[in-house]
Amino acid sequence: MEGFRAENNNEKINPVSLKISKDQIERVFWGRSVDVTAEELVKVFAIISHIKEKGIRDESEIKDAASDLFDELDVKLFTYEMIFTDQTIDEIITAKEIDSITMDFNDIPIIIKKGSTAESAVKEWENAGYNSPEAIEKREAVQKEKNELIQKQQSIIDKKFSEIEQLDFSNLESVIDWLYSYNTLDIDGVDMYEDALVEKFETEGYEPKDNDAINGMVGEALNDKEKLGKVIIGYLLMNGSLALRGDSLKNSIEEWKKLAS
């Protein structure tokens, strides 16, 4: 029969994964999203699986069946000629089973297999991208850079923290300036020695204050520079990260310094 490609004794024993080359369909991808592409590939796999399950082995019959299914499933991105090359037809005829089709999208394979949905295929594609050698290498480079930054910043923090032993705790302005400056050094991943910091300040008569305590003390302390200074210190001990959120706290400290003693 014309178009017949293989005898039974030439059939492959193991399941085959069809690889759709970029040469076949590269222009299809221009401006397309991975979601739309995966949805179309699910349809293509359904067409190939149908032809294989029906045992169609004549090329002209394969073309007729596939063309009808392309129309029925409303395949828009691909044409029969893009998918059903001579090599693909040979694979379909000679394979014991077509267990998947794969196609690279942005150099990462989209894999469609039995039971795949467009959503599951895209998720696997995203995961493969995350775990690709290139992605892993990039993450490792970023992490190395982050580790170097943390190490450098930790050295600065260690040096600054060592100054606490020479700090004049009777001088409120010096204490507030030092504590504010110290808190601005905080970045993710460093050790700010919070427990040791609070313990040292408590031995010098300063205690961290939560927001409720602060709110209860501010009114009484507004006209007393020393009391208000201790409120600010208590606030900085409890909310050190606020020093990283802009100039509001810094401006409040500057206003406090202008108060008459």
- What is the tens place of the pLDDT at every residue in 6-23? 334 455 546 778 887 766
- What is the tens place of the pLDDT at every residue in 152-167? 999 999 999 999 999 9
Q: Look at residues 83, 107, 131 and tell me which one is the last residue of a structural domain.
A: 131
Tell me if 3 is assigned to some domain: no
Tell me if 2 is assigned to some domain: no
Tell me if 197 is assigned to some domain: yes
* Distance (Å, whole) CA 200 – CA 184: 19
Tell me if 223 is assigned to some domain: yes
34 Cα distance to chain centroid: 17
The reply to whether 122 and 201 lie within a common domain is no
Tell me if 139 is assigned to some domain: no
- What is the tens place of the pLDDT at every residue in 28-61? 565 678 899 899 999 999 999 999 999 998 999 9
92 Cα distance to chain centroid: 38
Q: What are the beta bridge partners of residue 202? A: none
Cβ–Cβ under 8 Å, residues 96 and 12: yes
Looking at residue 9, its pLDDT comes to: 41
Tell me if 176 is assigned to some domain: yes
pLDDT in tens, the chain (261 residues): 233 233 344 555 467 788 877 665 655 565 678 899 899 999 999 999 999 999 998 999 999 999 999 999 999 888 888 889 888 899 888 888 899 999 888 778 899 999 999 999 999 999 888 788 888 898 899 899 999 999 999 999 999 999 999 999 999 999 999 999 998 898 888 999 999 999 999 999 998 876 565 555 555 656 778 888 888 898 888 876 655 555 677 888 888 888 866
Looking at residue 96, its pLDDT comes to: 85
Indicate whether this model's pTM tops 0.85.
no
Quick one: what percent of the chain has pLDDT higher than 90? 45
The reply to whether 118 and 158 lie within a common domain is no
The reply to whether 87 and 188 lie within a common domain is no
Domain ranges, residue 18: 8-131
Looking at residue 6, its pLDDT comes to: 35
Beta carbons within 8 Å of 76's beta carbon, 6+ residues apart: 40
Concatenate the DSSP letters of all residues of 65-126 into one string.
HHHHHHHHTT--S--HHHH--HHHHHHHHH-S-EEEEEEEETTEEEEEETT--HHHHHHHHH
Beta carbons within 8 Å of 94's beta carbon, 6+ residues apart: 5, 6, 10, 11, 12
The reply to whether 173 and 88 lie within a common domain is no
Tell me if 140 is assigned to some domain: no
Whole-number average pLDDT of the chain:
83
